Chains A and B, each alone.
Chain A
């Protein structure tokens, strides 16, 4: 942790000090942290989504970042960056070419360009901030939304019937199965772990590095601002969102959860789940257990035990 504090306090802030992310937004925290680690030798692309909307991509002739920042379409972020990287490679400059994209722009709309870049071994860093839906356009569901969740396109009746019917797409695993050199999951509640993973992604010089961050959305999911980190931490401590990495095909948990809390503790903190019945919660718990066991079987070694 000391090393993380050193890194973050010594490195310059590269994002505008005043962006209009919601009060307590942990995506803002993730972006600022990631950018401090990446440093000024970086080009970023932020497709439509929360972080585009809050002003990081700029407004009029002003910029929201102190590095070149692109505002691609929702579905071409990875392919656009692949082209930029190819050019820099040609002129012999080694720079970080980075996407910071929401789940809509990665898991749904941007999937084919991302999958293509992964398959072609394009050397870019792709970071997905997963807040489980199209949050800045009014909380519509995405393929990444958790089963049972209320969204504006999966409404819930007064009788508490409704919510999303399908489970969350296991996107980190899908990216790992592309056999890219580096894939990791991360959480804003585990900053030293996130910082390590960004550093490892920067070391990849052949092929794509992918980091999937689960960012509970305060406004869209119904979470108190000061519980932003607590809820993120619970997503990990309940094994709902395991922290692991896949380096050249080898799976490893980076934070092992030996004594998981019941998923209910995570769910109870979030309004979008408030209509769920005991059975619904059990269904999610079973799914989480099944996923965890499968992941555990793939892991070559366990991570350090959760200290937080």
Chain B
């Protein structure tokens, strides 16, 4: 059985999509400050999980599968992304 959460991402081949909840792995999580963000898209390009989503005129972190690697925070040249302890921010659900 495919979780409805997975369906948003891709549709199934065979009996569904094999996927594990990598959002569970996070120790720290990224928080994006829209005020500081220059909308350059670097974080979007380098997130290995592709969990930074491009909206019409801004970027947003989707925490569902974010592994908390910190690459986005490291690559952002504007200091708009900070890594904080999981659950300590009001942005990040899960």
Contact = CB atoms under 8 A, between A and B. Distances in A.
B16 interface: yes
A29 B70 CA distance: 14
Contacts of A65: 13
A20 B44 contact: no
Interface residues of B, number: 38
A58 interface: yes
Contact of B74 (A14, A63, A226): A226
Nearest to B28: A226
B74 A5 contact: no
Nearest to A15: B10
A182 B54 CA distance: 32
A122 interface: no
Interface stretch (A70-78, A90-98, A197-205, A227-235): A227-235
Contact of B25 (A23, A67, A229): A23
Contacts of B23: 18
B79 interface: no
A62 B44 contact: no
A13 B53 CA distance: 12
A8 B59 CA distance: 13
B48 A63 contact: no
B18 A66 contact: no
Interface of A: 1-2, 4-5, 8-9, 12-21, 23-26, 28-29, 32, 36, 55, 58-68, 188, 191, 225-230
Interface of B: 6, 9-23, 25, 41, 44-50, 53-54, 64-65, 67-71, 73-75, 83
